[in-house]
Amino acid sequence: MSLILLFIVTAQSFAEPLKTEFVQPTARATQTEIPSTVTDTPTPSSDTTASATSFTQADLSLLTGNIQRPNGLVWHDGKIYAACSGDWTVYQIDAATGNTAQYIYGVKNAHSMVAQTDGKNTNLWIPDFQSNNLVEITQGVVKNVATNLDGPWGITQFSDTQFLVTNLRGNDVVMVGEGDAKIIITELRSPTGIVVDDKFIYVANTGSARRAIEWFDAPTASTNSLPIDAEDKTVSHSLVTGLQNVTNIVMGSDGFLYFGYSLGTRGVVGRVDPATCRKNGGCSNDQIQIVVYSELAAPLSGVTLSPDMHLYIHSIFSPEIYWVDLKSTPVGK
């Protein structure tokens, strides 16, 4: 049975889910204005240069192991936010000490999230795979930003008010936030992780090793040719090929693209220079630098990076969250 089936396992609980306030939810894709501003590309510096040598399990430090079946992770402002399907709870974890506190209850099954601080408040945007909703959480207040999605898995911030969400079951990427939802990319293969920079969108296809990670031009206010057909043979969208079970992808502050995938039964983190891969028509699996060759069972569900290149990972549904400073020297090297 394919490991992809693990992604659609949902948590069971007899507890009542949290009550939410609906804010312009929609399942219908219509023509909406595309914001002209997207996330800036990280600027590499000597303070964020990662080791060129692979790390192993011996290099990983345990941050915490006392939360139930964490899936999605995100680093933000010295904290790790982890969505756990075991008890429908989002936890806040001190990224330095591992001290853990319950943040909010009611998110059933999330694999990724976006965190942002607005003044004194921390906002979380979380696609709930089991509920087919995108929720926004602000200081204990939960709002449904979009409903009736089709297996929402990955999320990335596109502008101040818009997000891109991958639908694993729907094989597409939709833009949600203010206004109606808009389909941006179609004909993907069980898309999971997604990230955007100032010009490009990167999407992981866990359902196709040949199309492991693909890239697309980020739409602007003047873009008319939407949605993008990912199977259009006249345009090459290949970024990385030959990888199994690619999950989360994240852009490092060093300008490299980091991603979790499976190598046999092990969970592995690799990286590529996206500019080089785009220029060359894609990178094959032997052109990837393995950053972490762990002994964690594949697939890796949580992968997140801090600006100072601390990497946090865990195996799907395993309670342990590990971290490593990518600027350090691997053991024995």
Write out pLDDT tens, residues 30-71. Answer: 434 455 445 444 445 456 678 888 999 999 999 998 888 888
Q: Which domains does the chain have, with CATH numbers?
A: 49-325 (2.120.10.30)
Q: What is the mean pLDDT of residues 292-315?
A: 94
More confident residue, 25 or 33: 33
Instruction: Tell me how far apart the alpha carbons of residues 291 and 304 are, in angstroms, rounded to a whole number.
Output: 13
Confidence band for 24, pLDDT divided at 50, 70 and 90: very low
- Provide the CA 133 distance to its chain's centre, in angstroms: 16
Q: Which candidate, 262, 212, 219, places its Cα nearest to that of 240?
A: 212
- Residue 139 is predicted with a pLDDT of 79
* φ/ψ bin of 279: left (φ > 0), alpha (ψ from -120 to 50), beta (otherwise): alpha
Q: What HEC string does the chain produce?
A: CCHHHHHHCCCCCCCCCCCCEECCCCCCCCCCCCCCCCCCCCCCCHHHCCCCCCEEHHHCEEEECCCCCEEEEEEECCEEEEEECCCCEEEEEECCCCCEEEEEECCCCCCCCEEEEECCEEEEEEEECCCCEEEEEECCEEEEEECCCCCEEEEEECCCCEEEEEECCCCEEEEEECCCCEEEEECCCCEEEEEECCCEEEEEECCCCCCCEEEEECCCCCCCCCCEECCCCCCCCEEECCCECCCCEEECCCCCEEEEEEECCEEEEEEECHHHHHHCCCECHHHCEEEEEEEEECCEEEEEECCCCEEEEEECCCCCEEEEECCCCCCCC
More confident residue, 203 or 21: 203
Report yes or no: 284 and 297 within 8 Å, Cβ to Cβ: no
Q: What is the mean pLDDT of residues 246-253?
A: 96
Spell out the residues 6+ positions from residue 309 whose beta carbon is closer than 8 angstroms to its own: 48, 50, 252, 253, 254, 325, 326, 327
Q: What is the mean pLDDT of residues 1-26?
A: 39
What is this structure's pTM? 0.86
pLDDT > 50? residue 194? yes
Q: What is the mean pLDDT of residues 223-228?
A: 89
